[in-house]
Structure 1
Amino acid sequence: MPAIDTTLVRRLVRAQFPRWASLPVVPLPSGGTVNAVFRLGDDLTVRLPLTASGAGDVAKEAQVLASLGCLPVAVPAVAGLGEPAQGYPWPWSVHRWLDGEPAVEGRPFAPEALAEFVLAVRSAKADAPPAYRGGPLTLLDRATRDAVEELRRTDEPFDASAALDVWTEALDAPTGPEGWVHGDLMPSNLLVHNGRLTAVLDWATAGIGDPACDLIPAWNLLTAATRPAFRDAVGADDAAWARSRGRALSMAVIQLPYYRGTNPVISANARYVLTQLGCRSARRASTGPRGSSGRAPNTSR
């Protein structure tokens, strides 16, 4: 496969969408691991999947967005669907540009707008497949406990005992009715303007699942000062709140050992989550072998 760069994007656009051939192509920085994203002129973006597993997201995202209908914030609008060509092996897409800056953990953010969005998605009535991460927490138990042990052996300031307490509480929490969830409300998928949510990206993870999936921004984005307003606005009971803590913890402990040397955006967010959950200890954990499985965890897009 050729390098995914501006030269490839120009060739693909020129061959398949000649009306946009004269537009400048600029790579966009991203902490994502599934798509390379480029700005095309002022009004468009090009998204090229980085892996075969991500290639199926192109069609799924379009289907999901068509099912959901109107939402209180902007969502991606497909302007064109590209085909494999120029040595690039997978489908790709062109979307309309969405204004806003990616959210950053710990910065000022209006929780009420986020809650309004979560509730709007949850109220959708259309049929949908299972959400990418929406299944029972028990399915994540072995991977989460293994990741806690792996992280404990690193030089990260990590409180494994506190992490396991969070995880056990989440596993013990009763489950409730499933519903529509976005499933990947990482800060990089949330666009903001003046601290207010304006758009939500990356819908390939959406579907039917545990509503606690979409409460994770309480821990990966919000602060202790704004978290209660978000919880009140979404009406999260104790069980859903505990499950959201567990889901946030699971993602963070799996992501951090794997990405801390390669993806500073994901690593920083994982550390923020662990801090918010009270799992970052004041002193460093015992140092030991850092080893990695060498397999990308199934947690970040």
Structure 2
Amino acid sequence: MTMHVDQVDVTVDIVATLVQEQFPEWSGKPVRRLSSTGTVNAIFRIGDDLSARFPLRLADADDTLAVLEREARASAELARVVSRFPAPEPVALGGPGAGYPMPWSVQTWLPGTVASDADPSGSHAFAEDLAALVAGLREAETLGRLGEGRGGVLTHHDDWMAQCFEESEGLLDVPRLRKVWSRLRELPRTDADVMSHRDLIPGNVLVAGDRLGGVLDTGGFGPADPALDLVSAWHLLQPGPRDVLRRALGCDDLEWERGKAWAFEQAMGLVWYYVESNPAMSQMGRRTLDRILESTE
């Protein structure tokens, strides 16, 4: 089952043909599709040191190119900012061809296990590393850039949340969740934007033992509410390590609750949208909501 009604099919044969035609210097490298819970790109390995990302949802080629160019700049910037933790670096951009209608991107490959496969949620050391990552991102200059979308104004997401509550009837305790959102949505915003990863979920974090081994999907790096990267506290951590993260970052009550609000907004969309097409992502949303509800009791 596809995840999106406008999803584009991408196969190993298509990718191999694109590589051979557009990057003949890599044509001898094997191409392998990676199993992933990701929802935006199909990911393929090219040899041992490269990965290629193919947008899954059909869009205008010029618009897609602009997005990929912006993501490449963001990925390169993040890699410079957090040199302590490995991050993929942009290598090249490919064009449409071989039946695939949009541009695509190539990055360096990072070895490791994503946190959705090697659960670090009980590790205090991992929480300390995660706090160091978030703090390092926050230290980068916004250079006058302003955030938009998620990580902006909570009440701007009311229409989306109304749809989520409607679609979640029969899946979740919607009346209880509506009450939680009615409180979270009113939390005031007092701090200026800081630089943020913007999507610190388990599939975007690498684990090495019980430590943070690297960070993935870095193309969204940009300005946002300082609380946005605190979604990681709820997506990735159990209560004890969650407290370690909070203390390490020095979060006050308002910032902490706004982080909870952004995690809630994201998780509500994951549960119903991916319940059949990406059960692992849907289950992650449920787990995050459970953690939030437990913290409010």
Q: TM-score range by the shorter chain?
A: 0.7 to 0.9
Give the direction of change, closer, same or farther, for the CA distance of 1:172–1:192 in structure 2 (3 Å limit). Answer: same
Q: How does 1:120-159 map to 2 (within 5 A)?
A: 120-127=136-143, 128-151=145-168, 153-154=169-170, 156=171, 158-159=172-173
User: Please, which of 65, 71, 75 is the counterpart of residue 65 of structure 1?
Assistant: 75
How many Å apart are 1:80 and its aligned residue?
2.0
How many Å apart are 1:182 and its aligned residue?
1.1
User: In 2, Cα distance between the equivalents of 1:74 and 1:253?
Assistant: 30
Q: How does 1:5-154 map to 2 (within 5 A)?
A: 5-51=11-57, 52=59, 56-68=66-78, 69-71=80-82, 72-104=84-116, 107-109=121-123, 110-127=126-143, 128-151=145-168, 153-154=169-170
Unmatched segments (≥5 aa) in structure 1: 281-301
TM-score, normalised to structure 1, is 0.85
Give the direction of change, closer, same or farther, for the CA distance of 1:146–1:70 in structure 2 (3 Å limit). Answer: closer
Give the direction of change, closer, same or farther, for the CA distance of 1:10–1:228 in structure 2 (3 Å limit). Answer: same
Indicate the structure with greater helix content: 2
Give the direction of change, closer, same or farther, for the CA distance of 1:89–1:194 in structure 2 (3 Å limit). Answer: same
Q: Deviations over 1:131-156 (max 9, x none)?
A: 552210011123213322431x21x3
Verify the 8 A CA contact 1:160 1:279 in the aligned structure 2.
no
How many Å apart are 1:129 and its aligned residue?
4.8
User: In 2, Cα distance between the equivalents of 1:132 and 1:73?
Assistant: 27
Identity %: 37
User: In 1, Cα distance between the equivalents of 2:256 and 2:294?
Assistant: 17
How many Å apart are 1:266 and its aligned residue?
0.9
Verify the 8 A CA contact 1:132 1:183 in the aligned structure 2.
no
Give the direction of change, closer, same or farther, for the CA distance of 1:126–1:119 in structure 2 (3 Å limit). Answer: same
Moved more, 126-135 or 218-227: 126-135
User: What residue is the counterpart of 2:182 in the other structure?
Assistant: 168
Unmatched segments (≥5 aa) in structure 2: 1-6
Q: How does 1:243-262 map to 2 (within 5 A)?
A: 243-262=258-277
How many Å apart are 1:29 and its aligned residue?
0.9
Q: How does 1:196-275 map to 2 (within 5 A)?
A: 196-275=211-290
Verify the 8 A CA contact 1:249 1:273 in the aligned structure 2.
yes
Give the direction of change, closer, same or farther, for the CA distance of 1:111–1:130 in structure 2 (3 Å limit). Answer: same
RMSD over aligned Cα, in angstroms? 2.2
User: In 1, Cα distance between the equivalents of 2:142 and 2:69?
Assistant: 17
Letter in 2 for 1:124: A
Letter in 2 for 1:57: V
Equivalent residues, number: 277
- Which structure exhibits the higher relative contact order, with contacts defined as CA atoms closer than 8 Å and separated by 6 or more residues? 1
How many Å apart are 1:94 and its aligned residue?
1.5
Moved more, 29-38 or 58-67: 58-67
How many Å apart are 1:50 and its aligned residue?
1.4
TM-score, normalised to structure 2, is 0.86
